[in-house]
Amino acid sequence: MYINGEWLEALGGERFEVTNPATGAVIGDAPNGGASDAQAAVEAAAAAFGSWSSTTAYERSDLLYKAWQLMTERSEDLAQLMTSEQGKPLKASRAEVKYGADFLRWYAEEAKRIAGEVLASGRADQRFIVLKQPVGVVAAVTPWNYPISMLTRKMGPALAAGCTIVLKPAEATPLCAMAVTQIFADAGFPPGTVNLVTARDPKPIGQVFTSHPVVAKLTFTGSTAVGRQLAGAAATNLKRVSVELGGHAPFIVFPDADPVRAAKGAAALKFLNSGQACISPNRLYVHSSGADAFTETMVERVSRVRAGNGAEDGVGVGPLVNEAAVAKVERQVEDAVAKGAGAPVGGHRLTDGAFADGHFFAPTVLTGVAEDMTIYREETFGPVAPIIGYDDVDAVVEMANDTNYGLAAYVYTQNLSTAFRAFEGLRFGIIGINDVNPTSAAAPFGGMGDSGLGREGGHEGIAEYLETKLGGFAI
């Protein structure tokens, strides 16, 4: 672990193994930290906050630029490590490393854009000045599905704002977190500014993060169930909270859209990271007029997607994170088929030959999906594309909104009015209009409802780490 500028073993002396989800092979290990380790990291961050928060924006910017440069230089090693530890195809790992580095470059600039304001007063002898200052020590919990970019999406703005940070990465992907933390150490960030605690059991760490009096903010990316628990505990202690949680994204193909183009976009997005993305489309609403062309294109394209070890050339879908993830996907698919859905492609586990020791599910297309099927209501987090036919154009937006989640949604149409009505009517934080990649370091990312609180990325992302202070001056 990395605490107060030093690489340390856990106080308990234990370590835990890290395995490759494609092969089951042990690829490394990490310290198995506990509450005492987390407390030491938090206290190191608190001790460093005074000096770090008093640095100039230009000093913080220079260090973030240096981290961006180092991350860019080490991008291939990071991508190879990610594929081994998380499983995604190497091409996708390379793209994620670049995306993760983009947050460092963007917030290197945003550090210099933090600004207050002067407000008018009704009194001639009074002036108001508003300052934006860092909130303090930040505790961050990150997920396994994007084990590098989700680190920098939190670290970049927190450090740019002048906060110090303690990271708890997912227990499945601590090696990526260690490699990223080494970059910040090599870039010259002062001791205590960046701290890393790894652990097999996240609960004791979370308890420290939500209860320690010097932690000012908790930021979490992960499941809605865990996010609720952490946010509730943090709220009890009046800590600021931002949580990016699950999704159940609709993908609407309107009758005027090109169904072939829409299917190509859906296929590219749905199977990204084996479907293990919170913005992955989970409900594909296709108007009956284009259903045949859409389905044929999906089936043709998905049947050509090769599953396997992400380190191999030509692999488009890697393993799922663990056995529980495979079992969840299998249950949803079996439920849908039992209730009348078709599975023209996939629909089963992959267990033979090279798949025997990994966690694989075949890239799958389901047709005839209906409201009584589990997959219609629950997030899948796997390589399954459920196609839902519809006829009533006026009702499809409300069908899409019929969920407690509100992270991402997608719309295909060639009509500007239809696009605007859908954009305004869909109750989701991110809407892709003929676009399956509506994300960027410069753009706000976050959802509504059970998909979370707050935004990451863009100008909004750094605001999450700033406190507003008002000065009233009598002159």
Q: DSSP letter at 340?
A: T
**Same domain assignment for residues 235 and 260:** no
- Who's near 446: CB < 8 A, 6+ residues apart? 242, 244, 407, 429, 430, 452, 453, 454, 455, 456, 460
Question: Which of 244, 379, 456, 464 is an active site residue?
Answer: 244
14 within domain boundaries: yes
Annotated catalytic residue 278? yes
DSSP string for 214-269: TEEEEEEES-HHHHHHHHHHHHHTT-EEEEE----EEEEE-TTS-HHHHHHHHHHH
Looking at the structure, tell me whether residues 174 and 299 fall in a common domain: no
pLDDT tens-digit readout, 324-334: 999 999 999 99
How far apart CA 97 and CA 100 sit, in angstroms, is 5
Residue 368: which CATH number? 3.40.309.10
Of residues 279, 278, 277, 245, the one with CA closest to residue 451: 245
Domain count, the chain: 2
Q: Of residues 278, 379, 456, 464, which has the active-site annotation?
A: 278
- Can you give the pTM of this predicted structure? 0.96
Instruction: Let me know if residue 325 belongs to a domain.
Output: yes
Assign residue 155 a region: left if phi > 0, alpha if psi is -120 to 50, beta otherwise? alpha
Q: For residues 239 and 256, state if they share a domain.
A: no
pLDDT value of residue 414: 97
Asked whether residue 240 falls in the same domain as residue 253, the answer is no
- At 180 the pLDDT is 98
Q: Is position 446 within any domain?
A: no
36-87 pLDDT, tens digit each: 999 999 999 999 999 999 999 999 999 999 999 999 999 999 999 999 999 9
- Give me the residues of the chain with pLDDT under 50, please: none
Q: Is 459 in the same domain as 388?
A: no
371 in any annotated domain:
yes
Contact 156, 106 (CB under 8 A): yes
437 CB neighbour count, 10 Å cutoff = 11
Q: What pLDDT score was predicted for residue 375?
A: 98
Pairwise CA distance, residues 246 & 279, whole Å: 8
Whether residue 226 is found in the same domain as residue 268: no
Domain region containing 130: 2-245+451-474
Whether residue 194 is found in the same domain as residue 53 = yes
Nearest to 447 by CA among 405, 402, 411, 404: 405
Q: Is residue 445 part of a domain?
A: no
Is residue 330 annotated as a catalytic residue, yes or no?
Answer: no
Same domain assignment for residues 328 and 313: yes
Facing residues of 26 across strands?
Answer: 19
Give the separation between CA 75 and CA 358, rounded to whole angstroms. 26
One domain for residues 56 and 161: yes
49 and 189 in a single domain? The answer is: yes
Determine the pLDDT at residue 9. Answer: 98
Residue 102: its pLDDT value, please?
Answer: 98
Q: Are residues 81 and 166 in the same domain?
A: yes
**CATH code: domain of residue 11:** 3.40.605.10
Same domain for 397 and 423, yes or no, is: yes
pLDDT tens profile 442-460: 999 999 999 999 999 999 9
Query: Cα(410)–Cα(40) distance, rounded to whole angstroms?
Result: 44
CB 347 within 8 A of CB 337: yes
Q: How far is CA 450 from CA 51, 125, 402, in A?
A: 37, 48, 12
